[in-house]
Structure 1
Amino acid sequence: MQAEHTTRLGLMLLLAAATIAHGCGVPGVQPNINRVVNGEEARPHSWPWQVSLQVKHGSRYHHTCGGTLIGPRWVLTAGHCIWPGDVYRVVLGEHDLSVHEATEQTRDVMRIVVHPDWDLDFVARGSDMALLKLDKSPVLDASVGPACLPGAGEVLSHGAACYLSGWGNLYTHGPIPDRLQQVLLPVVEHSVCSRSDWWGGTVKSTMICAGGDAESGCNGDSGGPLSCRGADGRWAVHGVTSFVSPLVCNEEQKPTVFTRTSAFTDWISDVMLHY
């Protein structure tokens, strides 16, 4: 056990060193975070860790979920995005899904590891997380780069400014955009989000709530990152988009719910170590 713990610690230090060396959480194109709006088109390639997870239907692939590049060959997404038997690929450096922009890099998914506690029939149980190992590393450039991981157990304060990015519906039953969208989602602390007139017991301590009312994620944003900038200026993926209200995406007092990444850092490092 001691040897495994030492190996795991060594891996985490190597991962941290590698991501810092490659500038984790430092976009080459700075995101537009000056305005507070209910969603807008993202500045192209300003979220370089954002990926499009695509599923094969017939001979073609279609966007199904978002995801986050967190290491040279690893993408973080939601467990509910993965269905047994389906074939997936990951497209990095994407902005407009409808055109070829010459920045895209497509990688096959070599291995899928869904968190063992994830249960599609019991979403509120939590652990809505999966890791995808790519067949080969993408080329890190101005359009493709990893997000940082938060510190183990880190919990953001109420009102912390975070951003959701993705190609989800613009509103409930609304159109699906071709171009990557972003929205400012302030964090709602667990003591508020778990109130009976909010999400109640549905929200676990291993989840993070953000937004609510006018600002929210929507169908198609699943698996994508909740990106939050730290005091050092680097962006970390603090959440993996999990679920919204079943009634409407932007229901009042029903913020978007994410799997809290910092609650699963040991599992993430273990998967990267053993796979």
Structure 2
Amino acid sequence: MRVGEKLAELASSKTGKRKQKRSSSSEPPMPCRVVQRLFDTCMEVFADCGPGVVPSPENIHRLRSVLDNMKPADVGLSPRQPYFKTVESRGAPPTITYLHLYECPKFSIGIFCLPKSAVIPLHNHPGMTVFSKLLFGSMHIKSYDWIDSTESTDEMIKPSHLEGRNLKLAKLKADTVFTAPCETSILYPAAGGNMHCFTAVTACAVLDVLGPPYNDSEKRHCTYYNDFPCTTVLGDSASVPDEGEKYAWLEEREKKPNNFSVVGAKYKGPRIVER
């Protein structure tokens, strides 16, 4: 056998052994490690937390760092999947798909898949710390916090057509468009925009970590709101402020909005292993 052929045979044999060794390794592919790292971090971050209890700043940073580096492929998503296609239907809102990854009494992990123009209406997160990671696309986020009891709001007036309705004043926290890649948004039980609304500017996916999750039996249910512009009294006239702090009147809705269409689907990305 010629020397060149022998070397080629040896090289091929070594390559095959290397491939065999790699394939037999117990180490999971990178996407599996990313999702597992997210789960393991959540287990540690929320271990000593509960309703109204915010993780320490160090733990907030730890979890945010994991989420900031996550990509759609890490959870088996692509903008080309059917979840993100807008289906024409007479007057019906675009259907949002929810992919459930994990839930326990301490936290939950899930992904909302929104076609273009889909809306998750204004809603609250009672006693929760929430991390929202925009995996791809562009999304408009509008959020509010209830005002601090020490703030002076005597100059705020209700619109005349809303007199007699049960309205509560809230301060605008965010009203802007976020485009991936961007930092993970965090809201807290009483700050950071605890009540928010998502509108898909383009098809997009957002991964949510809630600590703790909603629980009706523990009176942590999701409440939806209508929001109305807030005016201030200036002399003998009223105006909507253009700069500085902005406010709105929020009204609790009795039911989930009719234009909110969401369905559950099986998560098909890398699985989570409970240790």
Do these two structures clear the TM 0.5 threshold for a shared fold by scoring above it?
A: no
Higher RCO (CA < 8 A, seq sep 6+): 2
Structure with the higher fraction of residues in helix conformation: 2
TM-score of the two chains, using structure 2 as the length reference: 0.30
